[in-house]
Amino acid sequence: MEVVIAPAEELAVLAADTIEALLRRKPDGVIGLATGSSPLQVYDELARRHAEHGLSFAHARGFMLDEYVGLPAGHPERYRNVIERDIASRVGWAAELVQGPDGLADDVPAACAAYEAAIAAAGGVDVQILGIGTDGHIAFNEPGSSLASRTRIKTLTKQTREDNARFFDGDVDAVPVHCLTQGLGTIMAARHLVLLATGTQKAEAVHQLVEGPISAMWPASIMQMHPHATVLVDDAAAGRLQLAGYYRQTYASKAAWQSL
């Protein structure tokens, strides 16, 4: 696992560089898309590169991490609409090339199985962008999630619903109780994981992810088992890392030929 501690703008550039490098070597590369605040600067940077340098998403495929259950198709906080607004529409990404779990499916297990099959049929995810919840969740894999889980329905914790109420005019009761989410096993199958976290409210989750024991109590800690995981954090989110000095020294002395 590589930990990079830098200002948020630099982290966004590094993540965008990783996606750009993928699309230059593999125009039909598969990108795993996260919602939430954490990837927004990455999406801004990709939109800028699309507008100014013609970075093309014409053949790329996108797979979302998760989706709320039950939000109507036109709801602005439905994750499919969030992704359309935050990234897809800004980089000319055709709607049929970006998929998410179907939060309106009548047959939820079938929809989850179909989503796993779609990811597999695309050849798997090349670069997976991730945020992290304050309780250590990635996608919507709340504490207690099976470390081998696949796409399925989950119940959101009170903490997560409170954290996400800001997207629902501060009304926690408007935040759905259920979601469909890629499992930890699904996420672990992606070839490169790139997680972004900023702010002191993420510091404990980042500490547990990087330095804690691997445990379903801190679901992101499973990333310690991934052969190619990158954790991009600002000073505040790095505030509880015991080995922060070592991570800084390692990154500062990294060979020029090494990318993330």
Residue from the set 14, 23, 34, 241 that interacts with ligand GLP by CB under 6 A: 34
- The answer to whether the beta carbons of residues 100 and 63 sit under 8 Å apart is yes
Site stretch for ligand GLP (CB under 6 A), options 31-39, 46-54, 114-122, 205-213? 31-39
Site stretch for ligand GLP (CB under 6 A), options 29-37, 103-111, 114-122, 252-260? 29-37
Buried b (16+ CB within 10 A) or exposed e, 161-187: bebbeebbeeeeeebbeebbbbbbbbb
| First-to-final CA distance of the chain | 10
Torsion angle of alpha carbons 227, 260, 84, 174, nearest 10°? 60
Helices (H), the chain: 8-25, 40-53, 79-86, 108-121, 158-164, 184-188, 203-211, 244-252
38 binds ligand GLP, rule: CB under 6 A = yes
Residue 100 is inside which H or E element, if any? none
140 binds ligand GLP, rule: CB under 6 A = yes
Choose the catalytic residue: 67, 142, 163, 234.
Answer: 142
75 among known catalytic residues: no
135 among known catalytic residues: yes
171 among known catalytic residues: no
Site stretch for ligand GLP (CB under 6 A), options 52-60, 125-133, 222-230, 250-258? 125-133
From 216, 240, 224, 260, select the one nearest 126 (Cα to Cα): 260
CA-to-CA distance for 72 and 148, rounded, in angstroms? Answer: 30
Choose the catalytic residue: 135, 192, 207, 234.
Answer: 135
Question: Which residue's beta carbon is nearest to the bound ligand GLP?
Answer: 131
- The answer to whether the beta carbons of residues 17 and 55 sit under 8 Å apart is no
136 binds ligand GLP, rule: CB under 6 A = no
Choose the catalytic residue: 45, 66, 67, 86.
Answer: 66
* CB closer to ligand GLP, 34 vs 194: 34
149 binds ligand GLP, rule: CB under 6 A = no
| Bridge-based pairing state of the strands 30-33 and 127-130 | parallel
Question: How much is the CA Rg of the chain, to the nearest whole Å?
Answer: 17
Site for ligand GLP in 43-82 (CB under 6 A): 65-66
142 among known catalytic residues: yes
* CB closer to ligand GLP, 37 vs 249: 37
- Partners of residue 150 on adjacent β-strands: none
* CB closer to ligand GLP, 102 vs 252: 102
**Going residue by residue from 158 to 177, which x/- string records binding to ligand GLP, judged by CB under 6 A?**
--x---x-------------
* CB closer to ligand GLP, 178 vs 248: 178
The residues carrying an active-site annotation are 66, 135, 137, 142
Binding site for ligand GLP (CB under 6 A): 34-38, 65-66, 131-133, 139-140, 160, 164
